[in-house]
Amino acid sequence: MDDLYRSHFDELCANIRKSFGSGPPEPEDAVQTAFAKFASLENPEEVRDPRAFLYIAARNVVLDHKRSAKVANAYIAEQIALDFELKLEGITPERVVDSRQRFETLVEAMRSLPQKQQLILTMSRLEGKSYREIREETGWSAGDISRNMNAGISALVIAIKRAERIRRSADEQTGNEPDQT
């Protein structure tokens, strides 16, 4: 494993950087994750071409990160559009209740996140800090910050959607028309 690492790490990093840029995730983080996947195989010696395995694994790490970021960005855009729509339609008692319920769901979901994700989301979304500022304060890599940010946002999105499904289901059972917000 040590020989494999020494002979291919720099080459893999250069390839990932050339293909996808310098991050996030950082090429070094993606390649390190690929090596970790290889090392976690039950029988890594059975892999015919370890170099090809590492290239594909590192590429998949980057693509998974980009997919996750795309989902998170789509949700943020949806929420911005919703906020704009709410301002146009005015404030109603139903919207106030709905907003309060959403906020409570977010607070509860935020509290259930790992401490690192809570800190990164707080620094980024509430304090408005950039990845670079977070990295300088915490010492974590941009890739690590990005992964934790996306995982945290995804968890919050899932919590909100789950709460909305539960509310709609309860409204349907009681015969109330669900709020279309």
* Whole-number Cα distances in Å, 145 to 67, 136, 175: 16, 11, 45
pTM of the model: 0.47
Span 91-181 CATH architecture? Orthogonal Bundle (1.10)
Contact in structure between 134 and 145 (CB atoms under 8 Å)? yes
Residue 58 burial (10 A CB sphere; 0-12, 13-18, 19+) = buried
Closest Cα partner for 29 from 49, 9, 50, 2?
A: 9
Task: Indicate the pLDDT class of residue 180, thresholds 50, 70 and 90.
Answer: very low
Q: Residue count of the chain, please give it.
A: 181
Q: Domain ranges in the chain? A: 1-73, 91-181
pLDDT in tens, 65-108: 888 777 777 777 777 777 666 565 566 777 777 778 888 888 89
